Homo-oligomer: A and B are copies of this chain.
Amino acid sequence: MIKGRVTGRVWSSKHIDTLPGGALLQVTLEDGATLIALDPLGCDEGEQVLVTQGSVAAGYFTKMKASVDALIIGSIDET
């Protein structure tokens, strides 16, 4: 998994029908790159998160085919 911080959100009104509901969050990685991950957890901007990529991300969804390749799987505890 990769570690990143939620830095924004995007909306997509025009999308294919296999995009699951849920927020599409922008996650900024430690090297400054960004990706967009589906968030089933309700994370907030500024939260540090773990992202799983590839077919594993899509496999989280069992009731529908999901065309996503990035999924937030956890929020990292900050102490």
* Chain B residues with CB below 8 A from A65, complex form: 59-60, 62
A15 touches B55 (CB 8 A): no
Measured CB to CB, the residues of A under 8 A from B are: 1-3, 10-16, 18-19, 24, 26, 30-31, 33-37, 40-41, 50, 52-60, 62, 65-71, 73-77
**Shortest beta-carbon distance from A49 to chain B in Å:** 9
Instruction: Let me know if A12 and B52 touch, CB within 8 A.
Output: no
Complexed CA–CA distance, A33 and B74 (Å): 20
With beta carbons under 8 angstroms apart, the residue of B36, B56, B62 that contacts A69 is: B56
Smallest Cβ-Cβ distance to A12: which chain B residue: B74
A1-B68, A1-B69, A3-B36 are contacts. A74–B41 as well, Cβ < 8 Å? no
